[in-house]
A and B are shown apart, each in its own frame.
Chain A
Amino acid sequence: MQKMAVSTYILGISCFYHDSAASLIKDGEVLAAAQEERFTRVRHDSSFPINAIKFLLRQANITIEDIQIVAYYDKPFITFERLLESHLATAPKGLQLYLKTIPVWLSRKLDIKSEIKRNLKSLRKNKRSKLPELLFSAHHQSHAASAFYPSPFHDAAVLCVDGVGEWATTSLWQGHDTKLTPIKELHFPHSLGLLYSSFTQYLGFKVDSGEYKLMGLAPYGRPKYAKKIRDELIDLKDDGSFRLNMTYFGYLESTQMIHSKFTQLFGQPCRKPETRFSEFHCDIAASIQEVTNQAMIRLASHARSVTGQKNLTLAGGVALNCVANTQVFQKAGFEQVWIQPAAGDAGGSIGSAYLAWHQHLKQPMKKKDKDQMQGAQLGPDFGREQIFQAVTASNLVYEELSDSDLTEQVSNELVKQSVVGWFQGRMEFGPRALGQRSLLGDPRSPSMQDQMNLKIKFRESFRPFAPSVLAEKAADFFEEPSISPYMLFTAKVKKSTAAEPGQSLNDQRKSLTSDYPAITHVDTSARLQTVDKDISPKYHQLLESFFKKTGCPMLINTSFNLRGEPIVCTPQDAINCFMNSNIDVLVLENFVIHKSRQTDPVYHKYQQDLAPD
């Protein structure tokens, strides 16, 4: 008799630094992945991803006993060595940082094995069952694996650029079949990610989360200080390798990213959070973005000449910078560029799991012709029954529609300038909402940007929203758009003219001319998401329906959450968000809920609060 083949489940984990996350692969295929923050509702939660793991087990309908391997995305001993070496290099400076980090490391982070085991034990049904084997991959190796293995390529150059892992801050790899060979690297403290974060702090944004705001501010300025940055702060070589002049930076021996020498260099103090942006701030943002672009283009070009590959894959936090990615795509000479959608540390969990499969278990690569991330739709979904219960428990007046009626009615609402909370299928893995947990609006409207910012997200923002566009129509509306399913590239909006930098942010936004002002930045660029029929059929249908009515094949797509919150995960999260904001229509799968039709006054509280303007 033939023995029944048992599937191999590998659980990948990333945690304790930034966004913690867990991923599950079964026989080499990604089954599910999610960030812990979505479950705990704590933004950028870095604690052990116990809730994400519980979800993975539920999704695969298995228990922790069915998992053969748990793979952790970092080598904690080497990271600790790097911390000690940093202190050796700077002592007697750095006592404060030492007192802050060393106790946490000695008591918890160093003994990560016990920490992981303790958590896994709490998931066991049978207290005597054996725990899965525990493996560790290096930080950049995990990033590289997350970029290469799920990419559509069997051969590619791989470039990873982030803040810091153990030692590496930048690494260059060659991927061939299941082999991922490291070629070159740069080490801490010389880091493009930390350079960018230093400027993030200088401009009064939060480090590790405000980087995208810095990128969004850049088009308002001129890169006047790029030369100064290149002359003083970073020695960038022709091959993209670089070192930072550490006399300007504080992160090696203190809890601050920058020294006073840094602010003196530019002649202005750090911007205070929530204060106005001056021309200077915009120019600084434009300058550091320019230097980042240059470094990324050089690194990628070097990767091409060293590996001779025509495809490039990217990961690491810096690969979330869609402006730099676009420059790389246009100028580094590769035919195709693919980027891991969870390019930050969350994605390390997928990379680590893949490494356990291909490198540790030496399993062959299956033939692949498209990317393996499934549109990043790897999180939980919710059935009709669960949604029905949530809706009725919250006392909501609703309709339930067929797919075609649904897209017809929702596109009508969008034409009528309603803001729609769109909750469909499996939650996205990675930082972007891609039409599974999105707020949608009409991009043609000049007032829609303010409306969505002020009435729903309760923030003022200088950044335009991102558009989702029918993939097959993208070229009619954007100049040379790349395939951008994960919102990681930009493209110029056709028939638009840029504003002149130098004026106030508001004046620049006013002087921009575009048929789609809500999604066009002042330099006429947009961070587009191209929507494929195969990957997101329902969302594609909605866009098509909107296109038929308006001739516009795109919608504003912003993440479904309030200011300071993680993106919604469950129907209940979505209902809470609907209740606490001015979303006009909530769509939970095929349930449609209109704010105006609600009889419970609790749903109208916010409309009254904001009524005067």
Chain B
Amino acid sequence: MTIFKRLFHYWKLFGKTVFHGLALILLVFTFYMVLTPLGWLRRKFSKAPVQLNLDPEAKSYFLTSHPESNDSMTTPY
């Protein structure tokens, strides 16, 4: 019985390692193969919401706020 228990323990450990390994590969893959090219396109062709440039000539950096809609509290977005 104990030998099965031990085997099962190693099997679980193996499974966990594989799971974490796969997850890591998937994350790294999405970062370089999806996010990076998308980011490049975003910067090239659209006005990205993350603005990194300074504008010494501008009088203000303020953005105009948009009032929330009446039922805005019902959603997490």
Query: Hey, which bits of chain A sit against chain B, CB under 8 A?
Result: 71-72, 75-78, 81-82, 84-92, 95, 98-99, 102-103, 112-113, 135-138, 141, 167, 171-172, 181-190, 235, 237-239, 241-243, 245-246, 252, 355-356, 359-360
Contacts and interface: CB of A to CB of B under 8 A. Distances in A.
Contacts of A243: 51, 54-55, 61
Given A113-B76, A356-B73, A359-B73, A138 B68 contact: yes
A189 B61 contact: no
10 contacts: A76-B76, A88-B39, A99-B31, A112-B76, A136-B73, A137-B73, A185-B62, A235-B55, A243-B51, A243-B55
A85 B48 contact: yes
Contacts of A76: 76
B67 to A, nearest CB: 6
Contacts of B22: none
Given A85-B50, A88-B48, A237-B60, A183 B65 contact: yes
B59 interface: yes
Interface string B33-54: 0011011101100001111101
B63 interface: yes
Contacts of A186: 61-63
A77 B75 CA distance: 9
Contacts of A356: 73
A88 B42 contact: yes
A98 B27 contact: yes
Nearest to B70: A359
A92 B66 contact: no
Contacts, number: 126
Interface residues of B, number: 38
Contact of A135 (B32, B36, B74): B74
Given A85-B49, A95-B28, A235-B56, A241 B62 contact: yes
Nearest to B38: A88
B63 A187 contact: yes
A186 B49 CA distance: 11
B35 A241 contact: no
B65 A171 contact: yes
Contacts of B2: none
A355 B73 contact: yes
A89 B52 contact: yes
B24 interface: yes
Contacts of A75: 75-77
Given A85-B50, A103-B23, A185-B63, A91 B77 contact: no
B21 to A, nearest CB: 13
A113 B67 CA distance: 24
B39 A91 contact: yes
B73 A360 contact: yes
B58 A87 contact: no
A135 B73 contact: yes
Contacts of B67: 181-182
Given A187-B49, A239-B62, A89 B39 contact: yes
Nearest to A140: B65
Contact of A136 (B24, B31, B40, B76): B76
Contacts of A89: 39, 42-43, 48, 50, 52
Given A91-B32, A103-B23, 13 more contacts: A75-B75, A75-B77, A84-B35, A87-B35, A91-B35, A95-B28, A99-B31, A113-B76, A141-B68, A183-B64, A184-B64, A185-B65, A189-B52
Counting chain B CB atoms within 10 Å of each CB, which of A86, A89, A112 scores highest? A89
Contacts of B61: 186, 190, 235, 237, 241-243
B65 A71 contact: no
Contacts of A188: 50
A582 B63 CA distance: 54
A356 B71 CA distance: 10
A90 B52 CA distance: 10
A256 B63 CA distance: 27
A184 B62 contact: yes
Contacts of B74: 135-136
Nearest to B32: A92
A113 B77 CA distance: 12
A483 to B, nearest CB: 30
A84 B24 CA distance: 18
A201 to B, nearest CB: 21
Contacts of A85: 48-50
B74 to A, nearest CB: 6
A37 to B, nearest CB: 25
